[in-house]
Amino acid sequence: MKQNKAYMAVIHTIFILLTLSFLLPFIIIVIVSISPESQITTYGFQLIPQKIDFTAYGLVLKNAGVLFKSIIWTLFISATAPALAVMVNALMAYPLARNDYSLRKPVNVLMIVSMMFSGGLIPTYIIYTQVYHLGGANPMLYWLSSLFSVWNVILFRTFFKGIPAELIESATIDGATQPQVLFHVVAPLSKSIVSIQYFTSVIARWNDYQTSLIYYPNNQEYWTVQYYMQTILQSVQQLKASLEMQGLRDTSEAPVTTLKYAMCVISIIPVFIMFPYVQKFFSKGIAVGSVKG
Amino acid sequence: MTNSQKQKNKSLQWLKNVPYFLMQVPGLLWLVLFHFVPIFGLVIAFKDYKYANGIFGSAWNGLDNFKTFFSANYAFRIFRNTIGYNLIWMLLVNLFLGMLIAIMLYEVRNKIANKIYQTSMLIPYFVSYVIIAYIGFLFLSHDNGLLNQLIKSFGGKEIYWYYEPKVWPYILTFFDAWKNIGMASLYYYAALLAIDPCLFESASLDGAGRLRQIWYISVPELMPMASVVLISKVGGVLGGGMDIFYQLPMNSSKVYETTETIATYLFRGLASGSISTSAAVGFFQSVIGVILLLITNRIIRKISPENAMF
């Protein structure tokens, strides 16, 4: 029994250290964002602010044309693109879970083949931009590139297979058509999988920087928040340029570092709002428990 | 039943497929237009691609693109980095640490503690790699970073992290583990919850201690999940994302020696306009990726057929 206590103490100690390591960086981000810029330039990043200073946030709110534009744009994509994707994936998956669908085999094979072979970055880029004329001035790729996912179709299919066949049969006997069965019998039962897929994709869209980086690097109108954040982290010039664009004359005095981290805080907020909701599903195993199709 | 009736029945059977098929039309269209058509774009690996001439108009140049790449002095390091990082991370994070943390978490019976540990582990997974770069910068910044402050307070000489290739294998590995361990362990944790508790009870009645139970019950029960994880990751050993390699070193060219992988090379090739050479590398990469996947699947089918993918 004593040995057991020591054993549990070791486990708890490890987990407490781990938990701190996962939370501290985010706390430091917040601390840096509310520290005075002068403290950082003199002493570097510190865990305790000399005084709490909201200059950076004030500047963000006053001059944040580009940031707010990209936030609104990204929110718009993040809300709409996953809704479309969930619809397409669920509609693809439902027939694959029904035994009376004759094309089940060939479609499954097609999906497995697609998992194995893909064009890769360059050919995909060339076809999308040169043949389909997407990218650059056409923002449709934000919706199209994430519209379909074999992985999510498999998760849906597994879920639909778990719905008792009797339920569907009895509805069919009562004269329901296939779409009626889908929308009135299956859909109400699928709320959990639909919302988990929707919210994980919302977070994925919110975190997306690659679509902007690859397809829209020269079109600031269509930059997502994360890509904008990347450009200002990698180049102070970019940050100063966007401040100047918003009418700030003298950028030499601008609190560059705290400003970056203030934007960082603002851009994480939506993830932290949705996180508890998504996490609930994950810890129940709904999202990962049925990995294999 | 007459013949014509049978026929009618059959066509009725087929009619049932129509609504099903219509449901699948958007997905199938996407698959064809946005996945399979770009595969044909791979021909540019064998061409001297010029934007102005298009895919069909550009001249064939045989294997020249492959020769250009493989004779370049950076070809070796790109493959070494890609395979090295992705393979080591798959084994270390997705198999070993994931399993270890899940087993430890299973031991934590206190519901509140369990929840706190599990939740905090998942936070980094849902945060973007750009934010990871911001976090990295907190620690690694040359002038302000926490690590250099620590080194200086012990009287050491500050390190220019973003110019020093030697340190990046450790930094990248640490951050990959930090970001992904929550999700990696979640798969195993879900599998552990599915084990019949009677197994543990009867083992403990027979006098087996906790460690023994873990070794003889939990670990073997996790193997099917391990093979699923393995097969979903093995294709990425040669691919993998560019996220961490591109964002965390902030695209610093001084550390390409240890941070450049196929994925970042392809992206930089695209950005700098060397389309055909990059396409050749991509082509080579997908061929090897398919072979790896097939081999792994075959091995898993030999060991435990029910976990093979196909």
Q: What is the mean pLDDT of each run of 10 residues along chain A (293 residues)?
A: 78 96 95 90 86 84 76 95 96 92 91 86 93 91 94 89 87 86 90 89 94 93 92 78 64 78 91 87 61 41
Burial category of B175 from C-beta neighbours within 10 Å (exposed 0-12, middle 13-18, buried 19 and up)? buried
The Cα B254–Cα B85 span in angstroms is: 19
Q: What is the pLDDT of residue A288?
A: 54
Topology of the domain covering B73-307: MetI-like fold (1.10.3720)
- B287 and chain A in contact, CB less than 8 A: no
The Cα A148–Cα A292 span in angstroms is: 18
pLDDT in tens, B203-233: 989 888 888 899 999 999 999 888 888 877 8
Å between B233 CA and nearest CA of chain A: 12
- A214 and chain B in contact, CB less than 8 A: yes
Q: What is the pLDDT of residue A64?
A: 61
Q: If pLDDT is split at 50, 70 and 90, which confidence band does B309 have?
A: low
The Cα B295–Cα A153 span in angstroms is: 25
pLDDT in tens, B73-112: 889 999 999 999 999 999 999 999 999 999 999 999 899 9
CA B125 to chain centre: 13
| Phi and psi at residue B109, to the nearest 5° | -90, -20
Q: Which residue of B has its CA nearest to A216?
A: B271
Across the interface, of A91, A127, A226, the residue whose CB is closest to B23 is A91
Instruction: Determine contact, residues A146/A85, Cβ cutoff 8 Å.
Output: yes
Q: What is the pLDDT of residue A100?
A: 85
Which of A197-228 are b and which e, b meaning 16 or more Cβ less than 10 Å from the residue's Cβ? bbbbbbbbbbbbbbbbbbbbeeebebbbbbbb
Domains (range + CATH), chain A: 64-234 (1.10.3720.10)
Residues contacting residue B196 through CB under 8 Å, at least 6 positions apart? none
Q: Which of B45, B122, B49 is nearest to B283 (CA)?
A: B45
Count the neighbouring beta carbons within 10 Å of the beta carbon of residue B14.
Answer: 10
- Amino acid sitting at position A153: V
pLDDT in tens, B178-189: 999 999 998 899
Mutation for testing the B interface, residue in A2, A8, A13, A15 having most B CBs under 10 Å: A15
Residue B174, token pair as written in the block = 């640490």
Q: What is the pLDDT of residue A10?
A: 94
Reduced DSSP (H G I as helix, E B as strand, rest coil) percent helix, strand, coil of chain B, to 5: 80, 0, 20
Across the interface, of B101, B144, B247, the residue whose CB is closest to A257 is B144
Residues contacting residue B302 through CB under 8 Å, at least 6 positions apart? none
- A119 and chain B in contact, CB less than 8 A: yes
- B11 and chain A in contact, CB less than 8 A: no
The residues that bridge with B48 in the sheet, in sequence order, are: B59
Å between A289 CA and nearest CA of chain B: 6
The Cα A101–Cα B196 span in angstroms is: 35
What number is the average pLDDT over the span B21-49?
94
Domain coordinates of chain B in residue numbers? 73-307
The Cα A242–Cα A233 span in angstroms is: 13
Residues on chain A touching B134 (C-beta within 8 angstroms):
29, 229, 233, 260-261, 264
Mutation for testing the A interface, residue in B16, B134, B143, B211 having most A CBs under 10 Å: B134
Q: Which of B275, B268, B277 is nearest to B64 (CA)?
A: B277
Q: If pLDDT is split at 50, 70 and 90, which confidence band does B241 have?
A: confident
- CA of B68: how far to CAs of A67, B63, B75, B289, B304, in Å? 42, 9, 10, 21, 43
- B98 and chain A in contact, CB less than 8 A: no
Q: What is the pLDDT of residue A293?
A: 35
pLDDT in tens, B247-299: 999 988 899 999 999 999 999 999 888 899 999 998 988 888 888 888 888 88
Instruction: Determine contact, residues A233/B130, Cβ cutoff 8 Å.
Output: yes
Residues contacting residue A166 through CB under 8 Å, at least 6 positions apart? none
Q: What is the pLDDT of residue B46?
A: 93
Count the neighbouring beta carbons within 10 Å of the beta carbon of residue A170.
Answer: 12
